[in-house]
């Protein structure tokens, strides 16, 4: 049987003729993180308030963003700045944390 057209979609099953095409998601590796119980409780409370994503999803997205930042910076990164915004995006509603990657594991700096 010849299939005249096949459309690929990352999130859906595509029917074409008598074939069902199921896109394969890229393979992901599992890593473990060491978090204090207090940190995990904070993350769980945040996830429970929003209810639209899981703890695993939010941590995965943060790690993916970190990797993309490293990639775009040409793998030469000396610090990472996380900016958390409450409500609107005015500066008084922002909390910034800077991680100095050359500090040998010292505590982050809060701005």
Record the pTM.
0.64
CA dist 25 and 6 (Å) reads 17
Domain assignment of residue 56, yes or no: no
Domain assignment of residue 83, yes or no: yes
Domain assignment of residue 65, yes or no: no
Residue 108 pLDDT exceeds 70: yes
User: What does the pLDDT read at residue 1?
Assistant: 42
Asked if residues 108 and 81 have their Cβ atoms less than 8 Å apart, the reply is no
- Of 67, 68, 81, 69, nearest to 31 (Cα)? 67
Domain assignment of residue 41, yes or no: no
Segment 10-65, tens digit of pLDDT: 555 555 566 666 666 777 788 888 889 999 999 999 999 988 889 989 999 999 99
Higher pLDDT, 61 or 6: 61
Domain assignment of residue 59, yes or no: no
Domain of 103 in residue numbering reads as 78-111
Domain assignment of residue 104, yes or no: yes
Bridge partner list, 95 = 84
Domain assignment of residue 69, yes or no: no
Q: What is the mean pLDDT of residues 95-104?
A: 88
Per the structure, how many domains does the chain have? Answer: 1
User: What does the pLDDT read at residue 12?
Assistant: 54
Asked if residues 9 and 23 have their Cβ atoms less than 8 Å apart, the reply is yes
Domain assignment of residue 92, yes or no: yes
């Amino acid at each position: 049987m010849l299939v005249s057209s096949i459309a690929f979609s990352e999130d859906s099953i595509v029917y074409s003729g008598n074939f069902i095409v199921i896109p394969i998601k890229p393979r992901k590796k599992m890593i473990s993180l060491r978090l204090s119980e207090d940190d995990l409780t904070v993350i769980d409370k945040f996830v429970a308030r929003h209810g639209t994503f899981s703890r695993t999803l939010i941590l995965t997205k943060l790690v993916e963003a970190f990797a993309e930042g490293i990639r775009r910076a040409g793998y030469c990164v000396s610090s990472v700045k996380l900016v958390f915004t409450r409500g609107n995006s005015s500066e008084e509603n922002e909390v910034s944390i800077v991680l100095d990657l050359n500090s040998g594991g010292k505590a982050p700096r809060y701005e």
